[in-house]
Structure 1
Amino acid sequence: MEPTAHSQLEASPPSSTETAEELAFKLNTAVRHSDTKRVLELLEKGADVNSKAEGGWTPLQSAVQANEEDLVRLLLDKGAHPHARKDNGGTAFTEAAIAGNVKILELLLERGLNINDHDDNGFTAFMEAAWYGNEEALKFLYSKGANVNLRRAVSEEKAKLHKGGVTALMDACREGHFSAVKTLVQEMGADVNICDNKDRNALIHALKKGCDKGRYESAVSIGRFLLDHGVDVNSKDECGKTALILTVEMQSPDLVEALLEKGEIDIDDADEEGNTALMVAVEKNDHNIVKLLCEKGARTDVGNLIAVANRNRAPNVARLLRQYNAKIIPGTLKDWEPNSKRWRDQLKKLYQIYRPMIGKLKTFQYIQQRIQNTSQGGIYLGLHGGTEVAVRMSRSTEGEKEKRFFEQCGNCEHLLKLFQFEKARGYMYLCFPLWERNLEEHLQKTENQTDCKDAVRMIFQAVRELHSLGFAHQDLHPRNFFIDLGGKIYLADFDNKRKLIEGKKELVNSDLEALSRLVVYVLTGGRKPLQLASAEDLAADSPDYEEALDLVGSLVSHDKRGLEGLSKHPYFWSKQIRFKFLKSIWNKIKDLRNRKAVFQVPNGTESFPYPEWTKLIDRDVLNIMENPRRGKPFKYSNDVTDLLRLIRNLDEHPDVRISNKIGDHAEYFLERFPALTIYAYNSLRQNPEYSHFADIEDPSL
């Protein structure tokens, strides 16, 4: 709760000799000098206790920064707002954590502050305490409910740049506070394997500044501690450097050995420049680490190691390398151009740099090569035997399950197929044909105006194919549909949300409802988030509006036709097919004694949408049709059967006068009567006696 003023001083007008701005400046200055007497004098003169100095600093925040507990109490008693924020969103509470003053933290918490509140950069008080190694403050905040594993929250713009996501443990590791790290892990259960938005875990943060003066010993200690507590040694920094490479840069042979003893690390992994740990060790002329890496089996046939050793005037290192079969490597890579336009630069980089091969696969699992995030891990670019692929890595057990599922998709046209796979070091690498964008990304690009009807048709077929395999998808989100260079759409399930149908109709119905939202999302160009898309967003002036509205409604109502029947829905028909359908109806009903009965649907509520259609058609056209040159005059009524009769007669017995006036017959009638096709189709389909009249035979469907 916000405090109220505890005296009349806050409301007192400033003296006539000093302006409010002058008093505010003096008050903030007095606080920063911890001059309590002067602070009281200025407040009595009417200085605003909540005035702000440069950067948005209030007197209370300045008092907290100065670690002046009594002055903090005084200002609070005089009406200072503990919730006030600096220009960067910081509060007195986060400042107290930086100062490490538990009494001030407790005092501010009593004033109703949220313990997990953060500034504009996502820093909470708990994170600030970790950054500055203030253990007592950490313990106090933890005891009051601070979230130990909270990740740094940042704006959407910063998140797109992969900023944020850092935890208090990462802060303590990065700043070298070993004691705080132990407290966070051993006493508070901090997760050592959470990653920030650049995919860096606590170990990477610990090693990043290990080369800095005064940080080496703490980095080594923290590194060993994290290794003992199960940290993932395969995490990389934003430049693709592994923990091993960072440790070699620190020139810590003991920690290098400790990492290698884990048996989980790829000794030949390389960073974004193609540098392996051995290459870095040779560049740094570190004979001990070079020897250690060579003894552990590091490859010596990459990176022109002897040339680097010779350049460094390091004959002992060169001699050592020769003992492990290192040679000078001549030649350069031939130029190569990827097929993909979207991923061209990343693929060229991957092609050019050294990467340890996994069978026939070359891939680099770091942030700049990642093309999609999933709940099961990232999807990365790869080259398998020279073919551009998307790579999913998982533990062998899970990978085998995924492999079996994707192999079932091999004969499906619009389910993502498995291209190849590789196994190495307990991991399965599943390789898929590379896509350009997912559907969500595709629709956000204004230049990518996808043929909506064709896109929806492919989406329908993908879901039908999955259902035919016995699975309901349960996550029909645009990010799970991928579009290749040729515009073909494929459905995947990298988040493993699919479920076996096994007669559970509710699972199929759930997919149909999700598909209805997805159809609207596609037809509206992704203007609204998927969950907010509704039929009301469809453009009423679209030539497919009536059909699209009916299709979406059929999906929502779990229409008994299912996806198989709905795939033949009039929405998917071309204009010519729709017109051909309307023409064909008269031929089917003309010999019936009671033609009107065809459109009388049992329990039907939908009425003919054009009860005065003769007024909507061009008068000259109607007159010509009612008074043909060769034939008897005929008066058309406003009945639907007569409209269909006119459409058929006009097209079967064309009159140049009409053609010159209205142009293309299909265009004219479908524009004048946009709801006619879906009305006729549904009326026939829902009439048990005449439902077969709704069937059309066309190879394009």
Structure 2
Amino acid sequence: MNEAEVLNSKLNDAVYYKDKEAVLELLEQGADVNSKVEHGWTPLQTVVRNNDEELVWLLLARGASVHARKDNGGTAFTEAGIAGNVEILKLLLELGSDINEQDNNGFTAFMEAAWYGEDEALRFLYSRGAKVNLRREASEERAKLHKGGATALMDACRQCHFSAVKILVQEMGADVNIRDNRDRNALIHALKRDSDKRSDESPVPIVHFLLEHGVDVKSKDESGKTALILAVEMESLELVTALLEKDEIDIDDADEEGNTALMVAVKEDNCGIAKLLCEKGARTDHGNLMEVARNNRSRSMENLLREHKVRLVPETPRAWEPNSKRWRAQLKKLDQMYRPMISKLKTFPYIQQKIQDGIYLGLHGGTEVAVQIVCSTEGEKEKEFLEKCSHSEHLLKLFQSEKKKGCMYLCFPLWEKNLQEHLQDPEGQKDYKADLKIIFQALRELHSLGFAHQDLQPGNVVIDLGGKIYLADFGSKRRSIEGQEELVKSDFQALGRLVLHVLTDGRKPLQEVGIEDLAPNSPDYTEARDLVQSLFSPDERGLEGLSKHPYFWSNQRFNFLKSIWNKIKYDQNRKSIFQDPNVTKKAFPYPQWTKMIDKDILHVMKNPRNAKHTKTYKYTNDVTDLLRLMRNMDEHKDEGITKKIGDYAEYFLKVFPDLTTYVYNSLRQNPTCSHLADLQDPSL
């Protein structure tokens, strides 16, 4: 090490051992107050960790940075959350620390205080604006592994800090039912067996507290273990009893390996819990319980199982191949594993069987389905609405439904991906016109049923195995449009954002994308921009009219432009169609078009060689003359011009890209000519 590195190393040692005199001496000798040692620790972060307020003041006075980050992204402020020192937290905030700043794993000072049970630090940070229900942000790579998403409440539960849990819920309104990226809520975190969990504190009071405050007992961990199974693994008869008192608990639910709570109790040789489960009606004909008891040499368990007439009914796996390509492996696993049936439905609502938020794979009578689980009251309303969609072509339809323990299981025909996944598919098609047109038609169908969607986003647009698109409403946010025209307008505007999101390949979040994100050199830029603007400021056309917008015409645009001349050429007032300032909102974009066009085209078209007449015609810069020239060129093709410019339609649309929308809007806005704007609807 050189001299500077030696000084910096000594400085970090001195602050670690709280040697104030050595710190002052080394700083005088030129040691860098912001130098870093192993893992990126700075002197300030070290003294904050050591809870040394005097040295914190000293280093800050000598220029220590509050914004410096360790290799893991942690700052002095997040370290202060771990230490729980309110005075240091207050000082760092005054010097510019962000109350909700996160390290690379998404931890904030508030989360650290919850993890380490620092109650007063929690209260202070909350008073200064810390976000109570903030979920840990994960990098894209970590999110793909379902990491991140935990909250401060989950941290306090996981580390068994009961007082912190009470503060978070009772004083700060922490949500007990938020789930992390592995679909686990606070209850699951409290019940998880971790090697680093504090051994001197019990999760039992926390679980009781969460149950009293309405925690969802149906949540599962990443292996599909229910709260009941985790309580059995913990060998807590008290918690098993408390959980079984909840009507929502399915006593026979199993994890991904097919283990039920009773099977776990038998494996753990816990007769007290096994007896309770049997008395509460746990299924005894799944898994070779008696063999497990014999292998454990547990006579008392064997006797208990005999009392409850334990028997084995082996399941014979069937030879079956799913239709779905994407979900094949998960469906085969679901088909072969043990699951308590819900009438004809077999499903496993845990992360490995998850399609998207709130939707899981299922098999209904052997048919592959997507299952949405809602409470029975909400489910009845959804079922009633979905029955209204049965005759719609592009609205997602209900396949079947089942009810059990206060829940409704809505089963839909299984899809392969949603629109967001379609946008992210590197091999997916990039011409989205047909997809968007179907979404327009689906929204029309919904409006015709008397509802506004109010949640138009890529997760609510699904694509089946055959590529057919359907609009869904998984968030159930739709509202009646009777007497609520502003809801229809908001749907139009949301559709405009969705169009932009699609046309920009989903690169930006839906709520952040804007017209400025459209690439000016992209195909159909002018038409796409005009369509989105029309959606943002809806007019009398409605969705039916906008479904005929020039954006959807593709190769029909040139035919539209040349046909307009045929329709207006005998109108003596044809020039006024495009000149009325009360009607035409925008000026003709090519006022010098005769100078923009290839000079040979203009020369030849003054007297076409194939024309029947020989009279020379001088073209002016008027838009009607440009339409006339386009029509004449196509009707009287010239071999030399064709060799020079190639396809006429491609040439004109490239030289005059704004012409189609200008002509379309000019005609549409003119009461005497508006019917001409629909002439080239490609669906006719």
TM-score (norm 2): 0.86
In structure 1, the partner of 2:412 is 432
Aligned residue for 1:266, secondary structure, equals coil
Q: Is the aligned partner of 1:232 residue 2:216?
A: yes
C-alpha distance in 1 between matches for 2:502 and 2:563: 31
CA gap 1:460/1:625 in 2 versus in 1, 3 angstroms: farther
Larger Rg: 1
CA gap 1:627/1:304 in 2 versus in 1, 3 angstroms: same
In structure 1, the partner of 2:434 is 454
CA gap 1:304/1:664 in 2 versus in 1, 3 angstroms: farther
In structure 2, the partner of 1:255 is 239
Given residue 688 of structure 1, which amino acid in structure 2 is its aligned partner? P
Q: Is the aligned partner of 1:627 residue 2:612?
A: no
Given residue 33 of structure 1, which amino acid in structure 2 is its aligned partner? Y
Q: Which deviates the most, 578-587 or 417-426?
A: 578-587
8 Å contact 2:609–2:638 — kept in the other structure? no
8 Å contact 1:98–1:128 — kept in the other structure? yes
In structure 2, the partner of 1:287 is 271
Displacement of 1:302: 2.4
Given residue 671 of structure 2, which amino acid in structure 1 is its aligned partner? P
In structure 2, the partner of 1:206 is 190
- Residues 575-618 of structure 1, C-alpha deviation per residue, up to 9 Å, x if partnerless? 2x445545654554555566556656563354384753995486
8 Å contact 2:372–2:411 — kept in the other structure? yes
* % identical equivalent positions: 68
C-alpha distance in 2 between matches for 1:431 and 1:26: 66
Displacement of 1:160: 4.0
Q: Which deviates the most, 421-430 or 337-346?
A: 337-346
C-alpha distance in 2 between matches for 1:217 and 1:495: 39
CA gap 1:660/1:152 in 2 versus in 1, 3 angstroms: closer
C-alpha distance in 1 between matches for 2:172 and 2:517: 49
8 Å contact 1:601–1:686 — kept in the other structure? no
Aligned residue for 1:626, secondary structure, equals coil
Displacement of 1:154: 4.0
8 Å contact 1:543–1:674 — kept in the other structure? no
C-alpha distance in 1 between matches for 2:635 and 2:125: 84
- Residues 467-522 of structure 1, C-alpha deviation per residue, up to 9 Å, x if partnerless? 21222223332332222222222222223333322244433333323333333333
CA gap 1:289/1:597 in 2 versus in 1, 3 angstroms: same
C-alpha distance in 2 between matches for 1:98 and 1:569: 59
In structure 2, the partner of 1:696 is 679
Q: Which deviates the most, 382-391 or 136-145?
A: 136-145
Given residue 186 of structure 2, which amino acid in structure 1 is its aligned partner? A
Q: Is the aligned partner of 1:638 residue 2:619?
A: yes
- Residues 142-183 of structure 1, C-alpha deviation per residue, up to 9 Å, x if partnerless? 666655544434445434433233333332332233454455
Aligned residue for 1:464, secondary structure, equals helix
Q: Which deviates the most, 44-53 or 348-357?
A: 44-53
- Among 347, 350, 354, the residue aligned to 2:338: 354
8 Å contact 1:616–1:672 — kept in the other structure? no
Given residue 700 of structure 1, which amino acid in structure 2 is its aligned partner? S
Displacement of 1:425: 0.8
In structure 2, the partner of 1:296 is 280
Written as runs of structure 1 = structure 2, the 5 A alignment for 1:375-454 is 378-454=358-434
Given residue 464 of structure 2, which amino acid in structure 1 is its aligned partner? D
Aligned residue for 1:171, secondary structure, equals helix
Q: Which deviates the most, 96-105 or 321-330?
A: 96-105
C-alpha distance in 2 between matches for 1:95 and 1:281: 42
In structure 2, the partner of 1:242 is 226
Given residue 638 of structure 1, which amino acid in structure 2 is its aligned partner? Y
Q: Which deviates the most, 22-31 or 289-298?
A: 22-31
- Among 450, 463, 475, the residue aligned to 2:443: 463
C-alpha distance in 2 between matches for 1:80 and 1:536: 41
Equivalent residues, number: 679
C-alpha distance in 1 between matches for 2:177 and 2:68: 35
In structure 2, the partner of 1:8 is none
CA gap 1:323/1:450 in 2 versus in 1, 3 angstroms: farther
C-alpha distance in 1 between matches for 2:154 and 2:25: 45
In structure 2, the partner of 1:15 is none
TM-score (norm 1): 0.84
Displacement of 1:141: 5.3
Written as runs of structure 1 = structure 2, the 5 A alignment for 1:481-630 is 481-538=461-518, 544-575=524-555, 577-578=556-557, 580-582=559-561, 584-585=563-564, 587-589=566-568, 592=571, 596=575, 601=580, 603=582, 604=584, 605-607=586-588, 609=590, 611-612=593-594, 616=598, 619=601, 622=604, 626-628=608-610
8 Å contact 2:262–2:282 — kept in the other structure? yes
Displacement of 1:237: 1.2
Given residue 434 of structure 1, which amino acid in structure 2 is its aligned partner? L
- Residues 45-66 of structure 1, C-alpha deviation per residue, up to 9 Å, x if partnerless? 4444444332233334434444
Given residue 628 of structure 1, which amino acid in structure 2 is its aligned partner? N
8 Å contact 1:444–1:526 — kept in the other structure? yes
8 Å contact 1:167–1:196 — kept in the other structure? yes
Given residue 219 of structure 2, which amino acid in structure 1 is its aligned partner? S
CA gap 1:520/1:178 in 2 versus in 1, 3 angstroms: closer
Written as runs of structure 1 = structure 2, the 5 A alignment for 1:122-141 is 122-135=106-119, 137-138=121-122
8 Å contact 1:601–1:683 — kept in the other structure? no
Q: Is the aligned partner of 1:477 residue 2:460?
A: no
**Uncovered stretches (5+) of structure 2, i.e. residues with no partner:** none
Aligned residue for 1:164, secondary structure, equals coil
Given residue 594 of structure 2, which amino acid in structure 1 is its aligned partner? E
Q: Which deviates the most, 665-674 or 162-171?
A: 665-674
8 Å contact 1:611–1:638 — kept in the other structure? no
8 Å contact 1:613–1:643 — kept in the other structure? no
Q: CA RMSD in A?
A: 3.9
Written as runs of structure 1 = structure 2, the 5 A alignment for 1:310-321 is 310-314=294-298, 316-321=300-305
In structure 2, the partner of 1:166 is 150
8 Å contact 2:548–2:678 — kept in the other structure? no
CA gap 1:403/1:633 in 2 versus in 1, 3 angstroms: same
8 Å contact 1:419–1:433 — kept in the other structure? yes
C-alpha distance in 2 between matches for 1:306 and 1:511: 60
C-alpha distance in 2 between matches for 1:22 and 1:658: 79
Aligned residue for 1:612, secondary structure, equals helix
8 Å contact 1:391–1:432 — kept in the other structure? yes
C-alpha distance in 2 between matches for 1:141 and 1:675: 55
Displacement of 1:245: 0.5
Written as runs of structure 1 = structure 2, the 5 A alignment for 1:85-100 is 85-100=69-84
CA gap 1:325/1:547 in 2 versus in 1, 3 angstroms: same
Displacement of 1:397: 1.6
Aligned residue for 1:447, secondary structure, equals coil
- Among 58, 69, 73, the residue aligned to 2:42: 58
8 Å contact 2:553–2:681 — kept in the other structure? no
CA gap 1:111/1:694 in 2 versus in 1, 3 angstroms: closer
C-alpha distance in 2 between matches for 1:480 and 1:655: 51
C-alpha distance in 1 between matches for 2:37 and 2:22: 17
CA gap 1:309/1:78 in 2 versus in 1, 3 angstroms: same
Q: Is the aligned partner of 1:329 residue 2:310?
A: no
- Residues 412-446 of structure 1, C-alpha deviation per residue, up to 9 Å, x if partnerless? 21222222211111111212222222222211222
C-alpha distance in 2 between matches for 1:86 and 1:677: 57
Displacement of 1:94: 4.1
Given residue 177 of structure 2, which amino acid in structure 1 is its aligned partner? N
Displacement of 1:260: 0.6
C-alpha distance in 1 between matches for 2:96 and 2:644: 77
Given residue 501 of structure 1, which amino acid in structure 2 is its aligned partner? I
Displacement of 1:661: 8.2
Displacement of 1:70: 4.9
